């Protein structure tokens, strides 16, 4: 609850709590809240935890991607960055530009990420963008910040979500299939004292930590929810998590490989941020929700991954080419 703070929802629900975690990691906060909830439960601080998110950026007229709040951000880096007009799209566009330069990644390859999201969104009645699009549609949509086009960008939507985390003996007694947090990893990445690297993310470190804790490898994962503020965010994250080598992401995502029932790595089967949701401009919560649906077998039948016993959800909070928190959860059916 970034705008109102935690006490609004605590008051609204009438809760009397003995433990609260309000860790701020921007869009990846909600994956972190699940990690911290699991740790708090394991250490006996609480037995049932609720993680929430709600926000109405669309109703409030946000133009998050293309307008910079030039003043009033009280951070040491603000004076060295805000005067230059670093829009959110512009920042991620610089990642895409460099990735293309270093590895030959193309706009058409990035477009495949949006195509896959739209193939999934057509089955989600809550998605605002339900029309299936083609690679041509994406690369011919207006340039917002070179090389990113309008259809490389996520939606601005109102919405929210919630996750309940509890002890396994309580979870097993509930009516819903239980999903276990098998592994979790977190990392931060920033401008590194000026050794800026815009073509990779903190997933480089959060991924291996999560995989090590879970005792699995990328090849074991049946479904991925990947934070998709922009198409390039997905491509870089998949590389950093180890689904392919750095630089090979363009080939990984192309030709429908992310489409459920078609490709080998189905992703964001709710339509993701690219077509469906980005409540409060924070996509982390809905990444968890769709991964849970997949592991429970409760996704839309048209996009449900067969035998989806293990899934990964990943959040990128902040801005990939400046500073951000990367959070990875590995979830399994029990």
- As measured in angstroms, the least distance from the Cβ of 208 to another protein is 23
Q: What is the largest CA-CA distance in the chain?
A: 55
Which helix (DSSP H) or strand (DSSP E) does residue 225 occupy? Answer: strand 223-226
Residues with Cβ < 8 Å from 301, sequence gap 6 or more? none
Of 39 and 77, CB closest to another protein: 77
Residue spans of alpha helices (H) in 6-134: 6-13, 29-42, 78-81, 88-103, 107-121
Residue 147 binds to another protein (criterion: CB under 8 A):
yes
Of 47 and 66, CB closest to another protein: 66
Residue 246 binds to another protein (criterion: CB under 8 A):
no
The answer to whether 315 and 27 are in contact (CB under 8 A) is yes
Which one of 4, 22, 47, 79 is in contact with another protein (CB under 8 A)?
79
Residue spans of alpha helices (H) in 122-194: 135-139, 168-172
Residue 88 binds to another protein (criterion: CB under 8 A):
no
In a 10 Å sphere around its CB, with 0-12 CB exposed, 13-18 middle and 19+ buried, how is residue 29 labelled? buried
# residues near another protein by CB under 8 A? 41
By CB under 8 A, the residues from 115 to 144 that bind another protein are: 142-144
- As measured in angstroms, the least distance from the Cβ of 81 to another protein is 5
- As measured in angstroms, the least distance from the Cβ of 102 to another protein is 9
Beta-ladder partners of 229: none
Compute φ and ψ for 151, nearest 5 degrees: -80, 0
Residue 86 binds to another protein (criterion: CB under 8 A):
yes
- As measured in angstroms, the least distance from the Cβ of 252 to another protein is 22
**Which of 270, 213, 263, 275 shows the shortest CA–CA distance to 238?**
263
Of 5 and 85, CB closest to another protein: 85
- As measured in angstroms, the least distance from the Cβ of 83 to another protein is 5
Residue 191 binds to another protein (criterion: CB under 8 A):
yes
Of 95 and 280, CB closest to another protein: 95
Beta-ladder partners of 134: none
User: Cα separation of 61 and 64, whole Å?
Assistant: 9
Q: What is the DSSP letter of 274?
A: I
Residue 198 binds to another protein (criterion: CB under 8 A):
yes
Of 87 and 257, CB closest to another protein: 87
- As measured in angstroms, the least distance from the Cβ of 109 to another protein is 18
- As measured in angstroms, the least distance from the Cβ of 264 to another protein is 31
Q: Rule CB under 8 A: which residues touch another protein?
A: 66, 70-71, 76-87, 89-91, 93-98, 101, 142-148, 191-196, 198, 321-322
């Amino acid at each position: 609850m970034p705008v109102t703070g935690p006490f609004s929802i605590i008051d609204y629900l009438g809760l009397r709590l003995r433990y609260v975690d309000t860790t701020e990691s921007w869009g990846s906060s909600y994956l972190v809240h699940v990690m911290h909830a699991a740790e708090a439960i394991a250490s006996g601080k609480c037995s049932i935890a609720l993680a929430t998110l709600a926000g109405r950026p669309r109703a409030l007229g946000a133009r998050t991607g293309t307008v910079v709040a030039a003043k009033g951000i009280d951070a040491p880096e603000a004076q060295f960055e805000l005067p230059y007009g670093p829009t959110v799209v512009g920042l991620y566009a610089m990642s895409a530009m460099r990735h293309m330069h270093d590895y030959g990644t193309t706009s058409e390859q990035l477009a495949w990420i949006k195509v896959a999201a739209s193939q999934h969104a057509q089955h989600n009645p809550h998605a605002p963008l339900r029309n299936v699009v083609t690679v041509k549609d994406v690369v011919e949509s207006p340039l917002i910040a070179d090389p990113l086009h309008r259809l490389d960008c996520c939606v601005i939507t109102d919405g929210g979500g919630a996750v309940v985390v509890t002890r396994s003996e309580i979870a097993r007694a509930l009516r819903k299939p239980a999903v276990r947090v098998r592994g979790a990893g977190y990392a931060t990445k920033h401008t590194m004292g000026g050794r800026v690297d815009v073509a990779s993310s903190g997933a480089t470190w959060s991924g291996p930590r999560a995989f090590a804790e879970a005792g699995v490898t990328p090849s074991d994962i049946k479904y991925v929810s990947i934070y998709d503020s922009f198409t390039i965010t997905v491509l870089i994250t998949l590389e950093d998590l180890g689904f392919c080598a750095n630089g090979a992401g363009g080939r990984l995502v192309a030709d429908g490989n992310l489409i459920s029932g078609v490709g080998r790595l189905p992703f964001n089967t709710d339509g993701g941020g690219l077509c469906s949701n980005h409540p409060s401009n924070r996509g982390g919560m809905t990444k968890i929700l769709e991964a849970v649906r997949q592991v429970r077998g409760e996704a839309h039948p048209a996009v449900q991954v067969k035998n989806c016993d293990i899934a990964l959800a990943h959040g990128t909070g902040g801005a990939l080419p400046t500073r951000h928190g990367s959070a990875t959860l590995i979830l399994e059916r029990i």
